[in-house]
């Protein structure tokens, strides 16, 4: 049976962040993920998790200046020192929250820099992050994010390219974060994509398309994909990273089914 985690940056936004843990637990979630937990003291986040009896299954490394439009640092030449600092900050949170999966955002493609330099920077940064996070038994995930709708200019938007990068990085604790919504927007053919990359998948996320709302609201036939993942023996978490059409609870009718 698949394990579903609530993404608290997307779900239960009707209430302040600290209250979302209890709301998630109340409807049956046992795991949660978060984009960036760094706005809250790590001990407070740990207490919210403990009180709700939840597992923190994923969060992102610091992405640079998010408010200014940055979407990660990993591919950006000249920002390596900042990337290194971001890894150390994430390591503190991962250790305290007992979280063993951290997503490393690639960043937006900067103008005027050769593609080979971006790729070399990315590979070196991912190796560094993997080598630091393996000290606590954590896996670093890389996620192709669609550049058509949600994140124009995002450097890593292709799943096949992500596979080649994983080969080049060459670390056992770096894996693929497969968001089926982003994959549908960029490529489609989701069942074959899952099967082709199954051995690399460290984490899965879901939302329907169009609109990035809950499963059952769009064109993706999630019952078939869930059955496929179960049949393939997927034992990881499935993160619910979608924007509810109305309230979170009202949009959870797909989950019992």
- Do residues 161 and 144 make contact, with C-beta atoms less than 8 angstroms apart? yes
Strand partners, 72: 106
Q: Is 3 within 8 Å of 26 (Cβ atoms)?
A: no
143 is catalytic: yes
Which residue do the tokens 């990085």 mark?
A: 169
From the candidates 33, 55, 214, 241, give the one annotated as an active-site residue.
Answer: 241
CA separation for the pair 34, 44 (Å, rounded): 14
Count CA atoms within 13 Å of residue 182 on its CB side.
Answer: 20
Nearest CA to 37 among 12, 11, 7, 68? Answer: 7
* Rounded Cα distance, 125 and 142, in Å: 12
Could you tell me where the beta strands, DSSP code E, fall in the chain? 3-7, 31-34, 55-60, 101-103, 139-142, 174-179, 201-206, 237-240
| DSSP per-residue string spanning 125-176 | HHHHHHHHHGGGT-EEEE----TTTTSTTBS---HHHHHHHHHHH--TTEEE
- CA 173, CA 187: separation in Å to the nearest integer? 26
Of residues 82, 143, 214, 227, which has the active-site annotation? 143
Comparing C-alpha atoms, which of 24, 189, 1 is closest to residue 178?
Answer: 189
List active site positions. Answer: 143, 241
């Amino acid at each position: 049976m698949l394990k579903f985690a609530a993404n608290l940056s997307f779900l239960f936004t009707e209430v302040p962040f600290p209250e979302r843990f209890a709301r998630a637990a109340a409807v049956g979630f046992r795991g949660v993920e978060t984009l960036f937990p760094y706005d809250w003291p790590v001990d407070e986040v740990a207490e919210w998790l403990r009180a709700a009896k939840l597992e923190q299954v994923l969060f992102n490394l610091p992405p640079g200046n998010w408010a200014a439009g940055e979407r990660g640092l990993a591919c950006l030449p000249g920002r390596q020192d900042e990337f290194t600092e971001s890894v150390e900050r994430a390591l503190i949170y991962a250790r305290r929250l007992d979280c063993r999966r951290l997503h490393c955002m690639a960043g937006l493609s900067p103008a005027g820099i050769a593609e080979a330099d971006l790729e070399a920077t990315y590979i070196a940064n991912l190796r560094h992050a993997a080598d630091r996070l393996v000290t606590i038994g954590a896996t670093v995930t890389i996620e192709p994010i669609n550049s058509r709708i949600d994140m124009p200019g995002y450097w890593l938007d292709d799943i096949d390219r992500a596979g080649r990068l994983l080969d080049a990085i060459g670390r056992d604790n770096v894996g693929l974060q497969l968001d089926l919504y982003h994959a549908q927007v960029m490529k489609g053919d989701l069942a074959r994509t899952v099967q082709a990359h199954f051995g690399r998948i460290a984490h899965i996320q879901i939302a329907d398309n169009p609109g990035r709302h809950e499963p059952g609201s769009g064109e993706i036939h999630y019952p078939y994909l869930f059955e496929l993942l179960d049949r393939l023996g997927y034992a990881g978490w499935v993160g619910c990273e979608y924007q509810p059409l109305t309230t979170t609870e009202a949009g959870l009718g797909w989950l019992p089914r």
